[in-house]
Amino acid sequence: MTEPAAPALPDLRPGPDGWVAAARRVPSPNFDDRPPGMPVDLVVLHNISLPPGQFGTGDIEAFFQNRLDPARHPFFETIRDVQVSAHFLVTRAGELVQFVSCNARAWHAGLSDFFGRSRCNDFSIGIEIEGTDDQPFTLAQYDTVAALVRGLHVASPVRAIVGHSDIAPGRKTDPGPHFDWKRFAALAGVSATLLPYQSQTDRK
């Protein structure tokens, strides 16, 4: 099957202020400054659903804005004091939501390491994809993630695109076994050299 041509994807480049004009902006307070002069050269892909396994609830946005109601679901009590964010969320319908400017440090990676470089939040962009480890992602999500990564690659010196599991092995498993790396790479028009952590025989 021939993949859709990458140039047909929308232009999702961040502007000078680090915000993507086409994204729905939902500012999160959970960010701070990157170290001075730090190049942003890593993209980290995650998955998330709140409550776990449920989609379209609006709870992800509430979580990243520190306004999640712990009484709404038993799981929320376990994360009531957690303050995290990501730069972007891609919903099941393929909508792009932005929480933090790409110029700032979002709190998405946690304890992490990229080829001996710790504190991956310092030099990465975090993209959350609404989903779970045990369900396929939607075609609309692949289109949006691919277009966003193409835009980020133009705006920043991106040298690698990894899963959260690659920089926090044993602690994190996302984006999970259902994320089709080959489909994503073809749509995004990125070289296999930008996917350094697993060989292509390990990727789907």
pLDDT at 175: 96
pLDDT tens per residue across span 115-153: 999 999 999 999 999 999 999 999 999 999 999 999 999
Residue 197 pLDDT level (bands cut at 50, 70, 90): low
φ, ψ of residue 21 in degrees (nearest 5): -60, -35
Strand partners, 169: 172
Catalytic residue flag (residue 128): yes
**pLDDT at 110 exceeding the cut of 90:** yes
Range of the structural domain that residue 184 is part of: 6-194
**Nearest CA among 130, 139, 168, 115 for reference residue 1:** 139
Is position 83 within any domain?
yes
Measured torsion, CA atoms of residues 53, 143, 186, 20, in degrees rounded to the nearest 10: -110
Q: How many CA atoms lie within 13 A of 123 on its CB side?
A: 20
| Helical ranges in the chain per DSSP H | 59-64, 74-78, 139-155, 164-167, 181-188
**Nearest CA among 30, 21, 138, 166 for reference residue 86:** 30
pLDDT at 8: 63
Q: Which of 61, 95, 128, 130 is catalytic?
A: 128
pLDDT at 183: 94
Is position 185 within any domain?
yes
Q: How far apart are CA 43 and CA 46, in angstroms?
A: 10
**pLDDT at 3 exceeding the cut of 60:** no
Is position 199 within any domain?
no
Is position 134 within any domain?
yes
Overall domain count for the chain = 1
Average pLDDT over every residue of 174-202: 80
**pLDDT at 9 exceeding the cut of 50:** yes
**Nearest CA among 79, 85, 120, 83 for reference residue 99:** 85
DSSP 3-state assignment of 197?
coil
Is position 1 within any domain?
no
Residue 54 pLDDT level (bands cut at 50, 70, 90): very high
Query: Residue 150's domain is classified under what CATH number?
Result: 3.40.80.10
pLDDT tens per residue across span 33-47: 999 999 999 999 999
Is position 201 within any domain?
no
